[in-house]
Amino acid sequence: MPKWLSDEEQRVWRQLLQMTSRLDGQLNRQLQDSSGLSMADYDVLVQLSEAPDVRMRVFELSDALQWEQSRLSHHLARMGKRELIKREYCAEDRRGAFVVLTDSGRRAIEGAAPAHAEAVRHFVFDGLTATQMKSLAAITSSVLRRLQGTEQQAWTPPTGS
C-alpha cells in the first residue's frame, strides 16, 4: 500500500482534474453567453422538462440532481425571481411543494439545448473512438460504484497498523 500516487497515476489524475475544470468552464461560458443560463440552471430545467406535467416535488428534484436541499432551495428561489420556474402548493402533503416549469423556462431550455449538446459533442465525443467510448462508460461506472454509500459521510483511509 504505497503512500503516494505512482508517476502514471499522478499524471492521469492531474489531467482528469484539468479536463473537468476546463470543460466545465467552457460549457458554462458557452451556455451563459448564448442563453443566459448556467449549467446548474440547465440541469434543473432538463429534469423538469422531462417530468410528467413538467412538475416535480422539491425532494424528487433534489434526489435526481443529487443536490443538498438547501442548495436547491436557494437556487430555486433565484430561478423563481427570473421566472424560469414557479412553485405550486401540494394538496396531498401540505409540508411539501411542487416546482413547475414556466413557459419562459421551457423556451429557455429549448433555446439553449441544441448549442449545448453541440458543444459537448464537439469537445468530448467527436474526439473519441467507439472503443474509448465503451471504456469511458466502464471507467465512470467503476468510480461511481466505488463512491456508492459514501454519500454524506467522509471516507477515512484504513489505519495502517
Where do contacts with a copy of itself occur on this chain (CB under 8 A)? 1, 3-5, 8-9, 11-13, 15-16, 18-23, 26, 29-30, 32-34, 66, 113-115, 117-128, 131-133, 135-147, 150-151, 153-157
> From CA 134, how far away is CA 141, in angstroms rounded?
11
Nearer Cβ to DNA, position 46 or 90?
90
| β-bridge mates for residue 23, sequence order | none
Question: Coil, strand, or helix at residue 68?
Answer: coil
Q: Which does 73 bind (CB under 5 to 8 A by kind): DNA, a copy of itself, none?
A: DNA
**Helical (H) or strand (E) element with 100:** strand 97-101
User: What is the closest distance, in whole angstroms, from the C-beta atom of residue 95 to a copy of itself in the complex?
Assistant: 27
- Cβ contact 139:132 at 8 Å: no
Q: Which does 88 bind (CB under 5 to 8 A by kind): DNA, a copy of itself, none?
A: none
